[in-house]
Chains A and B, each alone.
With several copies, the nearest count.
Chain A
């Protein structure tokens, strides 16, 4: 037996979806987290309800890396259909817990096998007929606990935490866990090197939260009152979380009145249409969707852009084109969303890279939409949105809402009619609006997606049209410095990476690896479109800049090339990954090392 490898592994359970393994994985993950060890869980699930292969990974590292790392060190194999491939995928030295019935004849010899007769055990040791199928999975929790040295108390904590809502389930499940532990004690022995040891100070005070859940909280804290949506993976949970939290926190316990409307629309066109109608009438309104829904929202987005109606649109990206792989992640909608709709359109796009930003960008998106009277997109992705992530608890907002330039009856009265809906009084391209219901005879105006002049009158004048379009450009320029600025971490290296969104984790890890190999790499993380001037400055300060993203066509790479003065364009290279899985660090280190021609350490 080799030296122990402590707290540094990827655990993977390969099961069949719909079989109840989610609970087991959750319990394991929470138990490890309880031990004070950083965890980064990833759920890799099929576009299916029951019967297809599914995987759950828990990356464990003392440094708290949160990027995906392929090739697990610990495998629980409970799906005969993928057994061969699963086995092939583990690292040399891995611990392979598998259904004893699976053949290991002619199998790899560089791993350690722990055969467990799960089906048999479930049949003989679990009395509950109804729950047997699900409880079978708890048996592997027991086995893995023994395998990795997870204390029983941690497992108990995990169970309690997972079954928060139905505490009765805890003892039944614990019994099944113990079946696994007993089996280990009686039949198996540790052979591989991987184990877990409690840690201090790494997870203290941290929470585990999904990006969509964080965004839902952000919406509520941002004052959202109308959420209209249409179900689609991986965005559904965002509005479902809004609904759940709203039922708790937005309902008057006495009257039952609800201070939000969460409406399941008939499709995405209606979902966005409702949000725009609400935004026009002064509510803070949002919708949430994914690729196919974004395509369906193109026409309405153009209306909101041109008629200048605030609305917040979440795109939890999955991999397209078309239906694509609905349960796989991607950053493939960036370019399309940025100028969604025909004609000359350009949108504000927020690009959260962490669950904290899912929360705070969601919250602040409503301010931005109101300030700039335009659609604000928040582009998250399946990885960020549907997986649990460790983070510090979110901060309570200290600022009041910024409702932007809205004139009430008193303000209109003061202006004595000297008001025009699209007059650029302040020179920033942002004009003053009134809301329907404003009790003043001069407050009303007519909103339209066709040509209009400064006073919102219908016009087909080419000059008025061009003036208006130029003002919209001006407004966009104003917004450029109001959207979240890039985060720059520069140490004066000539080499740098630019990335956005959920790839941040892989980039950070790659930087550590590269540094270990002697290559310092600076980093700018784009957090919004339009791109900031800071991006130009950053590129100017670096000789070679790698743009990392998860799409085929290098969409951010292209946007930056268009943003830069021509003399800087040549400094950029593109690193892309598009297989539907969160990008791992080595998909960044490898090409950089190649291109930098620094021998790998």
Chain B
């Protein structure tokens, strides 16, 4: 049996993690698998990866991929701050955050928004099941109006649409997808990782135990019936040649900062321009109105400056700097002292 190695010579197995402890059939497990595929195919160096998360079933998943990478399972809703700090310390890290809808849209909403505002270079995945899986099925703030809890309660509060929030805050890469749609999700994940700046992926990921019943709008059934993909994406990494072979006018080509391309093939009539913020908001809002789950790359701004750049951090990771780089020289120190005299 021959094992296929990726461009850095690693087998797919090198991207696996511990065995999952999630429920069989949980959408989160599918996302883990899609992530493994994306990271393997991209040839991400495991030691450069930092897997960050909050608390929840979703937040457990970083333990289930790329075992040899560092990971940090923090506290509930506060992954963004930890992620920001880690990236400040070492801007070479490929920072990948995994969160849940409870983790992000309730307790973590403020941090989520401020992370986006800073355009921190990271991938931020929300495994969105409309419920609190780990605490056994309470509504989360992404549950739709009219959606029914397992014990029968009906939600009457407007959901917080995380993509809308991300777009209005100037998020520079905003996509929605579905855990069951690997064909769409894997290229989006690759592009998110390649993107310089914050990449937010709101991925509907059914909770089979607490939110997969009739009346839920986050069930497999519902999503399969209501998903409306706006594009068919393909990812071409910077180290491969672009060989686009589509009919003109049928695709949009997004060139990412590192030279990779995300080629979006048009589906249906809708011709969504993913660099148009207002259009992005409209496509989501239209979906909301018609009860569809619009998926695909909603918005991207590939060349916006990321946090480290705006903060003028040096090329060399801050944490690698030593006494000589960091201490005032004796002369400078004496200067300060004499100013204080």
A220-B329 Cα distance, complex, nearest whole Å: 11
A50-B312 Cα distance, complex, nearest whole Å: 36
Asked whether A249 is an interface residue with its Cβ less than 8 Å from the other chain, the reply is yes
Q: Provided the pairs A270-B81, A270-B114, A436-B90 are in contact, do residues A230 and B70 lie with their beta carbons within 8 angstroms?
A: no
User: Using Cβ atoms and an 8 Å threshold, which residues of chain A touch B45?
Assistant: 439
Which residues between 25 and 52 of chain B lie within 8 Å of chain A, taking CB atoms?
Answer: 45-48, 50-52
A49 touches B209 (CB 8 A): yes
A446 touches B21 (CB 8 A): no
User: Using Cβ atoms and an 8 Å threshold, which residues of chain B touch A506?
Assistant: none
Q: Provided the pairs A230-B107, A280-B82, A292-B76 are in contact, do residues A50 and B88 lie with their beta carbons within 8 angstroms?
A: no
B73 touches A450 (CB 8 A): yes
Q: Provided the pairs A206-B341, A223-B326, A269-B81 are in contact, do residues A437 and B48 lie with their beta carbons within 8 angstroms?
A: yes
Asked whether B225 is an interface residue with its Cβ less than 8 Å from the other chain, the reply is no
Which residues between 274 and 319 of chain A lie within 8 Å of chain B, taking CB atoms?
Answer: 274-285, 292, 299-300, 303, 307
Asked whether B249 is an interface residue with its Cβ less than 8 Å from the other chain, the reply is no
Against A, the Cβ 8 Å flags (1 = close, 0 = not) of B204-248 are 000001000000000000000000000000000000000000000
Asked whether B306 is an interface residue with its Cβ less than 8 Å from the other chain, the reply is no
User: Using Cβ atoms and an 8 Å threshold, which residues of chain A touch B67?
Assistant: 444
CB proximity of B99 to chain A, nearest CB, Å: 14
User: Using Cβ atoms and an 8 Å threshold, which residues of chain B touch A343?
Assistant: none
A51 touches B75 (CB 8 A): no
CB proximity of A212 to chain B, nearest CB, Å: 13
Against A, the Cβ 8 Å flags (1 = close, 0 = not) of B258-302 are 000000000000000000000000000000000000000000000
Q: Please give me the residue from chain A that is nearest to B63 by CB atom.
A: A446
Asked whether A82 is an interface residue with its Cβ less than 8 Å from the other chain, the reply is no
A266 touches B107 (CB 8 A): yes
B24 touches A440 (CB 8 A): no
A449 touches B48 (CB 8 A): no
B111 touches A444 (CB 8 A): no
Size bracket, chain B contacts: 35 or more
A207 touches B341 (CB 8 A): yes
A261 touches B318 (CB 8 A): yes
The DSSP consensus for interface residues of chain A is: loop
| Number of A interface residues in the complex (CB < 8 A) | 93
Asked whether A225 is an interface residue with its Cβ less than 8 Å from the other chain, the reply is yes
A437 touches B74 (CB 8 A): no
CB proximity of A474 to chain B, nearest CB, Å: 24
Partner-binding segment picked from A391-399, A497-505, A524-532: A391-399
CB proximity of B82 to chain A, nearest CB, Å: 4
Asked whether A61 is an interface residue with its Cβ less than 8 Å from the other chain, the reply is no
Q: Provided the pairs A209-B340, A441-B47 are in contact, do residues A449 and B134 lie with their beta carbons within 8 angstroms?
A: no
Which residues between 64 and 88 of chain B lie within 8 Å of chain A, taking CB atoms?
Answer: 66-78, 80-88
Against B, the Cβ 8 Å flags (1 = close, 0 = not) of A179-202 are 000000000000000000000000
Asked whether A345 is an interface residue with its Cβ less than 8 Å from the other chain, the reply is no
Q: Please give me the residue from chain B that is nearest to A243 by CB atom.
A: B153
Partner-binding segment picked from B136-144, B161-169, B176-184, B189-197: B136-144
User: Using Cβ atoms and an 8 Å threshold, which residues of chain A touch B138?
Assistant: 231, 236, 264
A280 touches B72 (CB 8 A): yes
B323 touches A223 (CB 8 A): yes
Asked whether A128 is an interface residue with its Cβ less than 8 Å from the other chain, the reply is no
A446 touches B73 (CB 8 A): yes
Q: Provided the pairs A277-B82, A401-B322 are in contact, do residues A285 and B89 lie with their beta carbons within 8 angstroms?
A: yes
Asked whether A52 is an interface residue with its Cβ less than 8 Å from the other chain, the reply is yes
B75 touches A303 (CB 8 A): yes
A47-B55 Cα distance, complex, nearest whole Å: 11
A284-B57 Cα distance, complex, nearest whole Å: 31
CB proximity of A40 to chain B, nearest CB, Å: 16
Q: Provided the pairs A322-B75, A449-B75 are in contact, do residues A274 and B84 lie with their beta carbons within 8 angstroms?
A: yes
Partner of A277, one of B68, B85, B107, B323: B85
User: Using Cβ atoms and an 8 Å threshold, which residues of chain B touch A283?
Assistant: 85, 88-90, 318-319
Q: Please give me the residue from chain A that is nearest to B340 by CB atom.
A: A207
CB proximity of B156 to chain A, nearest CB, Å: 12
Asked whether B1 is an interface residue with its Cβ less than 8 Å from the other chain, the reply is no
A292-B321 Cα distance, complex, nearest whole Å: 33
Asked whether A547 is an interface residue with its Cβ less than 8 Å from the other chain, the reply is no
A420-B109 Cα distance, complex, nearest whole Å: 35
Q: Provided the pairs A278-B88, A280-B72 are in contact, do residues A270 and B332 lie with their beta carbons within 8 angstroms?
A: no
A273 touches B55 (CB 8 A): no
Asked whether A448 is an interface residue with its Cβ less than 8 Å from the other chain, the reply is yes
User: Using Cβ atoms and an 8 Å threshold, which residues of chain A touch B111?
Assistant: 266, 269-270, 273
A445-B75 Cα distance, complex, nearest whole Å: 17
CB proximity of A112 to chain B, nearest CB, Å: 33
A273 touches B47 (CB 8 A): no
A266-B17 Cα distance, complex, nearest whole Å: 32
Partner of B141, one of A249, A266, A394: A266
B75 touches A220 (CB 8 A): no
Which residues between 426 and 476 of chain A lie within 8 Å of chain B, taking CB atoms?
Answer: 434-450, 458
Q: Please give me the residue from chain B that is nearest to A309 by CB atom.
A: B72
Find the residue from B66, B84, B139, B141 having the highest chain A CB count within 10 A.
B84
Which residues between 224 and 272 of chain A lie within 8 Å of chain B, taking CB atoms?
Answer: 224-226, 228, 230-233, 236, 245, 248-252, 255-261, 263-272
Asked whether A121 is an interface residue with its Cβ less than 8 Å from the other chain, the reply is no
User: Using Cβ atoms and an 8 Å threshold, which residues of chain B touch A251?
Assistant: 312
Asked whether A70 is an interface residue with its Cβ less than 8 Å from the other chain, the reply is no
CB proximity of B105 to chain A, nearest CB, Å: 8
Against B, the Cβ 8 Å flags (1 = close, 0 = not) of A546-581 are 000000000000000000000000000000000000
A52-B87 Cα distance, complex, nearest whole Å: 34
CB proximity of B116 to chain A, nearest CB, Å: 11
Asked whether B313 is an interface residue with its Cβ less than 8 Å from the other chain, the reply is yes
Partner of A274, one of B81, B102, B322: B81
Partner of A444, one of B68, B85, B134: B68
Q: Please give me the residue from chain A that is nearest to B318 by CB atom.
A: A225
Q: Can you offer 23 A-B residue contacts whose CB atoms are under 8 A?
A: A49-B22, A49-B23, A49-B136, A50-B23, A209-B340, A223-B326, A224-B326, A225-B318, A225-B326, A226-B85, A233-B135, A250-B326, A257-B312, A273-B80, A280-B86, A281-B50, A282-B319, A283-B318, A436-B50, A436-B86, A445-B71, A446-B62, A447-B73
Q: List 7 tightest A-B contacts by C-beta distance, closest first.
A: A277-B85, A273-B81, A283-B89, A281-B89, A278-B85, A277-B82, A267-B107
List residues of A whose CB falls within 8 A of some B CB: 18, 47-52, 164, 205-209, 217, 220-221, 223-226, 228, 230-233, 236, 245, 248-252, 255-261, 263-285, 292, 299-300, 303, 307, 322-323, 393-394, 396-397, 400-401, 434-450, 458
Q: A245-B328, A394-B337, A450-B73 are in contact. List 16 more A-B contacts (CB 8 A).
A: A47-B134, A49-B57, A49-B133, A223-B327, A225-B318, A231-B102, A258-B312, A267-B77, A270-B84, A277-B52, A394-B333, A401-B322, A434-B70, A437-B48, A437-B92, A448-B72
